[in-house]
Amino acid sequence: MKILVCISHVPDTTSKINFTEGDTKFDTNGVQFVINPNDEFGLTRAMWFKEKQGANVTVVNVGGAETEPTLRKALAIGADAAIRVNTPAVDGFSVAKQLANVVKDGAYDLVIAGRESIDYNGGMVPGVLAGLLQANFVTNCISLEIDGVSVKATREIDGGKESVTTTLPLVIGGQKGLVEESDLRIPNMRGIMMARKKPLTVVEPIDTDVETTSVSFEKPAPKGAVTLVSSDNLDELVSLLHNEAKVI
């Protein structure tokens, strides 16, 4: 089985976010980038298929050379090879089209993507990719078992879970539950050394139209000041809730 794991290069959630050029561009200065958490759950599940079923695992990213350290980390975790499509990830539609071209060239049986990335939270790439490939699709996937070409999966739905059966080729949008956080792997020294020898192939992008553009960014409003009230002064608390907060 050939597995392709889509890897997004995203800011660490602890990073301080700023914008430049009149709030139209994301400022990457001083920002630490990591593997998108939903993608990392998928990569860890792919490693299970590699170890238990002998699957071959390739990771792919759409982005510039600055994303290669993230791909190298995925190789250090255990992926066999990496592909970087040499173009900025400017919108979900164009990213999905670039990924579809990679999938067709590599004849992959299973494509694992995160249900969404934590930077833009668009949640569109896995579904658009499945549509372009005319492949089966399961999103919000929290369990995945494969026997030959038969697939059993579980996905989260409003108010519960849904078990489904399908067949390869398949695209999934994975998330926490596909593996647990305790299952995630930290690259060891041996893995880091081996990653340097694994192939990281840079491919040129196909021509695609950019369907969406970011007009501007806006930070959330800062939190208001906190007023502390003594536990012995309930009258003051009621007055503040009524006259200032206006919640009662």
In a domain, 246, yes or no: no
| pLDDT of residue 72 exceeding 90 | yes
Torsion sign, CA atoms 78, 186, 123, 14: negative
Sequence length of the chain is 248
Region 64-87 average pLDDT: 97
Tell me the pLDDT tens digit for each residue of 148-180: 999 999 999 999 999 999 999 999 999 999 999
Mean pLDDT of 32-56: 97
- pLDDT of residue 195 exceeding 90: yes
Whether residue 65 lies inside any domain: the answer is yes
The answer to the question of residue 225 being in a domain is no
Q: What is the pLDDT of residue 128?
A: 97
pLDDT at 65: 97
Residue 215 lies in a domain: yes
pLDDT of residue 245: 83
d(CA 63, CA 26): 15
Region 121-128 average pLDDT? 94
**Distance separating the N- and C-terminal Cα atoms of the chain:** 61
The parent domain of residue 87 ranges over 2-219
Among 162, 155, 151, smallest CA distance to 127 is for 155
| pLDDT of 219 strictly over 90 | no
67 in any annotated domain? yes
- The secondary structure of the chain, three-state, reads CEEEEECCEEECCCCCCCEECCCCEECCCCCCEEECHHHHHHHHHHHHHHHHHCCEEEEEEECCHHHHHHHHHHHHHCCCEEEEECCCCCCHHHHHHHHHHHHHHHCCCEEEEECCCCCCCCCCHHHHHHHHHCCEEEEEEEEEEEECCEEEEEEEECCEEEEEEEECCEEEEECCCCCCHHHCCCCCHHHHHHHCCCCEEEECCCCCCCCCCCCCCCCCCCCCCCCCCCCCCHHHHHHHHHHCCCCC
Query: How many domains is the chain partitioned into structurally?
Result: 1
Q: Are 167 and 151 in contact (CB under 8 A)?
A: yes
Considering the domain boundaries, does residue 68 fall inside one? yes
224, part of any domain: no
- Is 231 a domain residue? no
221 band by pLDDT with thresholds 50, 70 and 90: confident
Residue 10 pLDDT greater than 90, yes or no? yes
Confidence of residue 51 (pLDDT cuts 50, 70, 90): very high
* pLDDT over 90, % of the chain: 80
Work out the percent of the chain whose per-residue pLDDT is above 70: 100
Of 163, 124, 121, the closest CA to residue 142 belongs to 163
pLDDT average, residue stretch 21-35 = 92
CATH of the domain at 191: 3.40.50.620
pLDDT surpasses 90 at 223 = no
- Residue 222: band (very low, low, confident or very high) from pLDDT cuts 50, 70, 90: confident
Type of residue found at 185? R
Mean pLDDT, all residues of the chain: 94
Flag the least confident range among 47-56, 102-111, 238-247: 238-247
